[in-house]
Structure 1
Amino acid sequence: MEPTTTIRSFIEDYIRKQGYTLQYFADLSGVNAGTLSAIIKGTRPIAMAQLDLITQGMNLEEGYFYETYGAECFVESAPHWRRLEPFLQRCAELDKLDCIQRVIQQVTDDRSYISELFEMAEGMLERGQQKAARMLYECVAECEKYQHSERLALCQYRIFTLSLGQNQHDNLRAAVHFEPFINRLDEERQLDAIKDLANTYASLRYWEKVFNLAEELDQKTKILQSYTKKKIEKSDRLTAYPLFVYRAYSNLLKSSACEKQGRYEEALVYTELYAKLPKVSGLDEEDQLFIDKFAGWAEANTYLYKLMMGDHTVLPAYIEFIEKNEEEILPAIINILEAANKFDRNIDDILYKFSDRINSEINCLKGYTEQMKNEVYAAFLLERSLYHLNRYEYQEGLKQLIHCLRESVRFNNQTDIIHCISLYEKYKNMGTTEIEHQYKIIMMEVQKAYEKKENILYNLA
């Protein structure tokens, strides 16, 4: 279709070339003949529903005319929300993001539909149309007049969560960009925002940052609890979880941050705090679910911290715990591997016992965000590689190391990339020709990625 061809002329040409009467095509498409005639003459605009019926009647793919429709209705003429809303929604349903981008750039010049676009983005997010929703949030954020408005902050929060993915460098950039907007959010939404930001920094291993955010989460939750005497029903609250969960989670974050920095005794103190949840009046099923979750995490982490302090008497109890809680198998095995590497312990029997369930757990990793899944998987590969290398099982150790390096490159996890490279250089003389070949291929990919990045920066200069 030529760029200058209008939808009306295309319909008219199609009917003529097919040898149809107007009434026949009206019956074929399901659009009233009088309406069809008015559309072709240009005396009546085409509604989205009518456009879809006409497209179907011509046996064309869904959305065939959307690019032209967007130009005719919203770029070349003044847009009307009554027509714009269904157009954007249909584009989102068909994943025609280019059409959305072109139109919203045009219609927001006068900022007439900012409120409507924001509400539409919220609806798209609820329906799982994340890419389209993000485009609308970015448009609203760019056009928001008041820089301290709650709507702008909420847009930035949505953009932040929608930006998180497998690339750790991009995740860091998204976190740094969003952080200044937290205090502009509603007090309740701040709790979820801090939690999500802390989780992101945890995946990036910024442990001091995680600890500070956990402290902020604790303080803000205390303030909310101080003037929220009555329990807020799930249907009325803005937070994703009951308030008591955030205080418990803040202590869980603190204990994790301490553990990662080798401060195991301090980690135990915070573990005891979230193990002893405050009494919640009028417990419901949701409350009990979280109470049980934190109790389980407290038990597992108590075993872990004691194990990392050299107390190997807790290992049988730890094994018994993870046998009853299969979702904890992979994180627990990582912890046991780390302790074995630290204290030079043989855990071959444990690895053999859980081998099938480890592989199964790797494939699902329930209850983790995408960033945390990547973090857990990389940690497992690295600790297992170290375990085999420490036991002079060089072929298996290097095989696991190459796997870890490949995954770290895929996630752009620079810390693990550096660790893997340093370990490979230490043990490369123990490897096979095939392992060396795989390593060189990965390094070529890394070099290409950095050259591409440098070229982009040069072009922008």
Structure 2
Amino acid sequence: MEYAIEIRTEIRKSMQKKGYNLSNFAKASTISSSHLSSLLSERPSRPLSVHHLDRINFALGHPVGCFYELYVDECFLSGKPHRSRVKPFLLRCAELGKKNCIQQVLSRMMEDLNYISLVFEVAEELHAEGNIHKALVFYECVAEHERYQHSERLAISQYRLFRAALGKDLEKNRDAVTRFAPFRNRLPVNYQLDGLLQLGNVYFTLNDWKQLGECADELIVLAKIVYQEQQQRTTSKRKKVPLKTERNLVVYYGQSYLMKATAYEKQGFYEESKRYIEGYADLSWFEGLDEEGEEDVKNYKMFAVANSYTLDMLMGHAHKLKDYTQYLFDHPQEILTGLAVITEAANKYGFTIEDTLSKLTNKMVKAEERDDNIYKGWYLKFHYQLAIYLLRKGRIENGADSILKLLESSILFNNITLFIQGISLFESYKDQVGEFQRNNYRKLLESIKEHESFDLSSRNYITLLLLGLDKTKSHFS
């Protein structure tokens, strides 16, 4: 068999420069002389492994991975990738960040798509070790080259890419959802549960209530099937295979009903929402719970109480406000979402909520202190509704301050929709606010007018608003 000659030539040159002969280099590299000779001779009789290459490189005192570009050919002896060299090499390149070497190997491997399973294997091994971002290039390769669109490894690769893509940027999250959603039903059951849970979270932050409802329906059916299968295994005394999911099964069951209730609530179907709240209000019947699962059941009971109060507010039941305020005071983690709902109801039904605001606002956890897109979405909604409430009460300065907080946070959280809504609200009252607030408004518009997340029409709109502010400034000066 013909082995790669160039890398061996370069290694022998480096040995000569360092003054090594075969015997003393064998000691330095801890590779036997006979083995070293069979690896590095002009007519080598065995292939060079990555492990040996690293030991040789260390003995020569070269930077880590020095000969890796030359090693690529060693992975493709006889023109085909050899598993025993390719896999360790790719794993080592990922560890060292040798992106160019990885791309060279993957490009040559994909000349024969039968080797895509090996690429997926490398990706999964890196992922299992916690090297999630290093695995992405391999998942992308699978996603791009997999021939069978219903294959499990393609669905898992898309799922891994989806989870890795989620972050603070709502528009990037939207793109990630669009890419992953068609593959969710092709996943193994455990990943389906986690995937639907994550999809629901993203649909919520995107205010896509139709998709949230559909996702909830799928999760309700799947969680019930999995629970029934587990119970059947228990009663039939068949060996119970543990389901490897991120959360207890009760979470997927409870969250499916919570998601559906939320989807109905956001679309104004309050009676339907109440029925689904009943689905997670008492999950004490759920069998096989550990200590963490029991705690999850308590949490869903608390969510049901809070969300029932939410529906009371949205349905105009003002007599429940005092009780709801006390409930929120006793459960500080719920204050932000509660206040967002209360201010929305106050605007819709004419509630007076000064006492509630006074009692709860200072206890609210700031969105900047939470790395949570859902919480940040509630934070923006609260300031939008609060601004409307204050403006309608004639508290123009306070209302303008709330709008400015909304605009500033919308930029920080990249929420274009609420930024535009905040602009429209400020524009309606800009002639009634102080110069200091107008200047702050101008600065926010200046900072965003070239923002890449805004489309051209939005940027043009902001430019026109700035021109309008210039005219206003000239009029007042």
1:425 Cα deviation from its structure 2 partner: 2.9
1:355-374 to structure 2, matched below 5 A, reads 358-359=365-366, 362-365=368-371, 368=372, 371-372=373-374, 374=376
Give the one of 337, 345, 351 matched to 2:353: 345
The residue aligned with 2:462 is none
TM (norm. structure 2) is: 0.78
Instruction: Report the secondary structure of 1:397's partner residue.
Output: helix
User: 1:407 aligned to 2:412?
Assistant: yes
Counterpart residue type for residue 15 of structure 1: M
Give the one of 90, 105, 117 matched to 1:103: 105
Further displaced range: 341-350 or 195-204: 341-350
Name the CA shift for 1:14/1:230 in 2 (closer, same or farther; >3 Å). Answer: same
1:204 Cα deviation from its structure 2 partner: 1.3
Give the one of 165, 169, 172 matched to 1:170: 172
Further displaced range: 120-129 or 262-271: 262-271
Find the aligned partners of 2:244 and 2:213 in 1 and give their Cα distance: 24
Give the one of 436, 439, 455 matched to 2:442: 436
Find the aligned partners of 2:343 and 2:66 in 1 and give their Cα distance: 56
The residue aligned with 2:267 is 261
Find the aligned partners of 1:381 and 1:7 in 2 and give their Cα distance: 64
The residue aligned with 2:301 is 295
Counterpart residue type for residue 311 of structure 2: Y
Further displaced range: 151-160 or 202-211: 151-160
The residue aligned with 1:184 is 186
Q: For 1:6-29, what per-residue CA distance to the aligned partner results, in whole angstroms no more than 9, with x for missing partners?
A: 443443343333445555555555
The residue aligned with 1:69 is 71
Instruction: Report the secondary structure of 2:113's partner residue.
Output: coil
The residue aligned with 1:17 is 17
Find the aligned partners of 1:219 and 1:293 in 2 and give their Cα distance: 22
Find the aligned partners of 2:37 and 2:338 in 1 and give their Cα distance: 70
Counterpart residue type for residue 50 of structure 2: M
User: 1:206 aligned to 2:208?
Assistant: yes
1:225 Cα deviation from its structure 2 partner: 4.2
TM (norm. structure 1) is: 0.80
Further displaced range: 165-174 or 87-96: 165-174
The residue aligned with 1:397 is 402
Find the aligned partners of 2:369 and 2:56 in 1 and give their Cα distance: 45
Instruction: State whether residues 157 and 178 of structure 1, in contact with CA within 8 Å, keep that contact through their aligned partners in structure 2.
Output: yes
Q: For 1:331-366, what per-residue CA distance to the aligned partner results, in whole angstroms no more than 9, with x for missing partners?
A: 3444445445554532442355315xx13x64235x
Counterpart residue type for residue 304 of structure 2: A
Name the CA shift for 1:338/1:58 in 2 (closer, same or farther; >3 Å). Answer: farther
The residue aligned with 2:292 is 286
Q: For 1:20-62, what per-residue CA distance to the aligned partner results, in whole angstroms no more than 9, with x for missing partners?
A: 5555555555555554555443524332223333444444443
Name the CA shift for 1:223/1:283 in 2 (closer, same or farther; >3 Å). Answer: closer
Further displaced range: 323-332 or 419-428: 323-332
Counterpart residue type for residue 422 of structure 2: C
1:110 Cα deviation from its structure 2 partner: 1.5
Instruction: State whether residues 81 and 113 of structure 1, in contact with CA within 8 Å, keep that contact through their aligned partners in structure 2.
Output: no
Name the CA shift for 1:442/1:81 in 2 (closer, same or farther; >3 Å). Answer: same
Give unpaired runs (5+ residues) of structure 1. 454-461
User: 1:275 aligned to 2:281?
Assistant: yes
Find the aligned partners of 1:293 and 1:101 in 2 and give their Cα distance: 47
Name the CA shift for 1:444/1:243 in 2 (closer, same or farther; >3 Å). Answer: closer
1:136 Cα deviation from its structure 2 partner: 2.0
Instruction: Report the secondary structure of 1:109's partner residue.
Output: coil
1:252 Cα deviation from its structure 2 partner: 0.1
Counterpart residue type for residue 11 of structure 1: I
Find the aligned partners of 1:54 and 1:383 in 2 and give their Cα distance: 67
Counterpart residue type for residue 290 of structure 1: D
Counterpart residue type for residue 404 of structure 1: S
**Equivalenced residues, count:** 439
Name the CA shift for 1:406/1:234 in 2 (closer, same or farther; >3 Å). Answer: farther
Counterpart residue type for residue 15 of structure 2: I
Counterpart residue type for residue 359 of structure 2: I
Name the CA shift for 1:142/1:348 in 2 (closer, same or farther; >3 Å). Answer: closer
The residue aligned with 2:221 is 219
The residue aligned with 2:427 is 425
Q: For 1:294-318, what per-residue CA distance to the aligned partner results, in whole angstroms no more than 9, with x for missing partners?
A: 1121122222222333445545544
Identity among equivalent positions (%) equals 35
Name the CA shift for 1:133/1:264 in 2 (closer, same or farther; >3 Å). Answer: same
Find the aligned partners of 2:208 and 2:274 in 1 and give their Cα distance: 20
1:168 Cα deviation from its structure 2 partner: 2.9
Find the aligned partners of 1:61 and 1:384 in 2 and give their Cα distance: 59
User: 1:195 aligned to 2:189?
Assistant: no
Name the CA shift for 1:353/1:189 in 2 (closer, same or farther; >3 Å). Answer: closer
Find the aligned partners of 1:175 and 1:136 in 2 and give their Cα distance: 20
1:400 Cα deviation from its structure 2 partner: 0.7
What RMSD, in angstroms, separates the aligned Cα atoms of the two structures? 3.6
Q: For 1:397-425, what per-residue CA distance to the aligned partner results, in whole angstroms no more than 9, with x for missing partners?
A: 343133123224xx3x3322322332343
Give unpaired runs (5+ residues) of structure 2. 460-477
Name the CA shift for 1:341/1:75 in 2 (closer, same or farther; >3 Å). Answer: farther
Find the aligned partners of 2:144 and 2:192 in 1 and give their Cα distance: 21
The residue aligned with 1:8 is 8
Counterpart residue type for residue 140 of structure 2: E
The residue aligned with 1:115 is 117
Instruction: State whether residues 75 and 107 of structure 1, in contact with CA within 8 Å, keep that contact through their aligned partners in structure 2.
Output: no
Instruction: State whether residues 378 and 407 of structure 1, in contact with CA within 8 Å, keep that contact through their aligned partners in structure 2.
Output: no
Find the aligned partners of 2:172 and 2:245 in 1 and give their Cα distance: 26
Instruction: State whether residues 47 and 83 of structure 1, in contact with CA within 8 Å, keep that contact through their aligned partners in structure 2.
Output: yes
The residue aligned with 1:148 is 150
Instruction: Report the secondary structure of 1:113's partner residue.
Output: helix
Give the one of 127, 130, 134 matched to 2:129: 127
Instruction: State whether residues 39 and 45 of structure 1, in contact with CA within 8 Å, keep that contact through their aligned partners in structure 2.
Output: yes
Find the aligned partners of 1:11 and 1:217 in 2 and give their Cα distance: 58
